[in-house]
Structures are given as C-alpha cells and as structure tokens.
Structure 1
C-alpha cells in the first residue's frame, strides 16, 4: 500500500503538489501513507477549506488507484497531471452541488481556495451580546459555580462564590478531585456549593452555572450522573427539599469570578469573605459591568 499510494517515485511529486495547494508540503517527509493520513485528519482548517482538504485526499487516493489500473489493464500511460486534474474536477463538482460552510476571512484561506480553483465563501461578521451578573433579591444568596479538568481526563478542580443582595461576597471555595472530565468538575462544584449553603442555613438559594449540564440536572433532579458521584448527588437532591431554589444559566463571560476560583493554581479551602484573587471581577459585577460575548 505504501508503494502504490505514497512512496513510488511517480506518486510522491503528485502528493507534494497537492499538499502545496493547502500549504502542507512538509508532510511528504512522512515515511508511510497511514502516518500522513493520521496527521492530515488532525489539521485545523476553516470549515470550507477542511471540506476540500479531506475530500481532496480521498479523491487523490482514488485517482491514483484508477490511473494505476489503467496502466496495468488498458496499457494506458501514467499521467500525473490527469490525476491532479481529476481532483480539481471533483472540487468543482462539490462547489456546484453542495452548500459548504464558510472560510476564515484571511489571506491564507483565500490563497488555498484560489490554488484549487474555488471561490471563497466569506464568514459572516461576528455579532456580540452583553452578559451581566445580577445580584439576588433581598434575603437570598446567590452562588455561582464552575469546574475544570486539565486534560481529558485530568485533575478536576471546582470553585464557587456566594453573594448577597448587595453583591457582597459571603464566602467562596475551591475544592480538588481525582482524575475526571470537565462535566464532573462542574458537578463537584455544585455538590459542594449546596452542601455549604445547607450548613450555613442559606435556604433561599439562587444557583447559577455556565454549564447547561448542571442547570438541567438541578432543574429535573435527574440522577443521571457518574456513578462515583451518585451517592453524594442523592444526598444533595434530598437536601434540596429544604431550599427555595432558583436555577439559571450564565455564559462564561459573566462567570469570571468563579472561573478564577476553579483555576488549577488555587489552594483548596473555604474563605468566609472575598479574596484578593476575585476582587477586581467582583467590583465589575457590582457596577453591573457588561461582558461581551461573541456570537456568529
């Protein structure tokens, strides 16, 4: 296979030209076709260029196979230009028959698309929304939570902060867990938050998270959680009978204080007041400062 599709002296120049179209000529240094394919499938392109990149590789392998069969069984002449031409024909057919996604609006994508004879489809301009953190009503406590995992899986960490109707921090925490995934870190954060709220008799509780997973679990009281958290989660569900609960989602841009509390370099612990690390973000929230979120 490596000789037929990759290492043959007549095939290598074809691949080099094809890869040059997409600015990846260095990939001809791979020793075998599978190494190249594994690397190629991991490359990051805009959605439009990625479609032609993957389709081009598949079409090129097919065209090489058909050209070799032509030489062996029909006494045909090996023509590298015919192989590359057939790939560009396939690109034009894609362009005419499929509605592909957009390119990145930069020179690199434009040059690639011009090399393969395709007109670029420009990305629409980005739009922005304002994201605000709002304080809870009088006599309520609001807790924002967040979690992270460095790797997949990685060491999970979680954090949260509690604030009153004056936006003043009544406490914040950071906890660490075992290896896991980001959604498990988010779960650890909200379990810890509800346990703390119960211990401190904060029964009018507004829980806010940037995780739709957590919002869904709390809203439905679902038990669909990883088994190692199931016992803790059942206890939390039982505790919720004591609470008057409000549950909302917030975009990450408005959840910056607990994003800091859930960072890996924090020490584990509970603090009954605002800490220096989140001071600036809390001041912005108090002033109802809006955080911009880019949407497409």
Structure 2
C-alpha cells in the first residue's frame, strides 16, 4: 500500500501526471482486503469497525476482559483458617514457603515460614501445606479450613490417587493421616486474595530453618487489616 502511494507521488512530482484518486482508493482497498487475513489484530471501537468495513474487511471485535473480584473470607467462629503459599525464584530456584492461621474476624493466631533451598514451586506449595497441617495438629486445632492458590495442591488433597514428589511421599502420607483425624475443608483462592501467605513465603527466603511466628511481622500488617475489613482485590 505504501509502495502504491509512493509510485503515485513520484508520477506527480517527476512526470507531472495527475493521479486518479478513485483508482488509487480502489487499489488500496483491494490490497487491504487481500492482506487483512495475514495480519493479526482486532478492532477496539466503532471507528475501527467502520474503517475496516469500508475496506471490505470483516472486523474482529476485541473481547473485553471483565475484572474478577477476589476477597479473602473470614472463617466462622468454630473454624480456624490456614492460608498457605510456596514459591521458587526461577522454578526451580531459591524456594520457600509460608502460612498463616486466623480465626473469626481475621484475627491472627500464628504463622510460619521456611527456606526450602533449591526446589520447584509445586514442591514448595506442598511443603507449605504439610508444615501448616502439622502445626495445626500439634496445637490441637482440629477444625481446619485450608486455602491456597495452587489448584494442583487442592486436587492432590481431594484425590485418592495423587502421588507427590518422591522426597515428600512420607511427609504427605503423614499429613493425610493428620487430616483424617480433623474436621477438614479445603478451597482455592486466587493469588490476589492470598497476599498474606505470599508475603510470609517471601520472608521465608531470609530464614535458614523453619520459623514459627507467634505475632505477625510488620511486613503483613496492612495486608492483615485489608483482609479483616473484606477489602476487594481485582484480577
């Protein structure tokens, strides 16, 4: 198309030959109609749609993505909620995990984090659950609502045929044994609603061993408050 315009311009400048605007427009429309299927893209508004239709091109309407609202939900009075998260910087890479226990109203009753060395993200997610369940069992918290942002972990907890990574086989079976003695429920939450556990997992990178946190570290104060207030996050 640019080549066509350049040729018409040269004829006007060097040959003093007036172009036929109608023929130029027809040529441009033909070129656009031929080339359009080979170029990705989509129309973003009514003006784009009308221009494309003038060139004989069927517009592809851009899909509008509707933001999804995500909110952390507080447990009822009889339940203790455990949110967990694991990470690996590089997957595999420097790995850590963390978790937080809260009761009704979002009140903090404990948390933990641990450096896991060089691992992948799924290993870290599983370890976060294993450690959290063990803490709950030791403290006698036997009405446990577990929530994390890994669908793989949730499916593993719900499946009778799930096989964890070999180094975690014994730990995982012990974890399931603990859960069988509890009133237990698990659910998935999007990452935007799991920010406190994510923050604790990042803190775990700085620790050499498992660390129990009886009081909330200052890094999670604002996130704890937002969760307790039911602040919405958008995905």
TM-score range, shorter chain: 0.7 to 0.9
Whether 1:255 and 2:230 are equivalent positions in the alignment is no
Question: Quick check: 1:278 aligned with 2:223?
Answer: no
> Could you say if the C-alpha distance between residues 221 and 144 of structure 1 is closer, same or farther in structure 2, counting changes exceeding 3 Å?
farther
Q: 1:173 to 1:120 in 2, by over 3 A?
A: farther
Aligned partner of 1:193 among 132, 147, 155: 132
Query: How far apart are 1:137 and its partner, in Å?
Result: 1.2
Higher relative contact order (CA 8 A, sep 6+): 2
1:269 aligns with 2:208: no
Q: Which residue does 2:148 correspond to in 1?
A: 209
CA contact (8 A) 1:132 1:289 kept: yes
Summarize the Cα distance change of 1:101–1:197 in structure 2 as closer, same or farther, 3 Å threshold.
Answer: farther
User: Aligned with 1:205: secondary structure?
Assistant: strand
Counterpart in the other structure of 1:13:
none
Q: Which has the larger radius of gyration?
A: 2
Cα deviation, residue 122, structure 1: 5.9
Structure 2: how far apart are the matches of 1:222 and 1:144? Answer: 24
Match of 1:290 in 2: 232
Distance 1:266 1:165, change over 3 A: farther
Compute the TM-score of the two structures, normalised by the length of structure 1: 0.58
Counterpart in the other structure of 2:18:
none
Q: Number of paired residues? A: 189
- Equivalent in the alignment of 1:152: 91
Counterpart for residue 177 of structure 2: 238
Q: Deviations over 1:163-218 (max 9, x none)?
A: 01121111011012132211111011001110110010110000000000111111
Report SS of the residue matched to 2:68: strand
Structure 2, unmatched stretches of 5+, are 1-30, 45-56
Question: For structure 1, which runs of at least 5 residues remain unmatched after alignment?
Answer: 1-88, 106-117
- Alpha-carbon RMSD across the aligned residues, in angstroms, is 2.6
Counterpart Cα distance in 1 of 2:167 and 2:42: 43
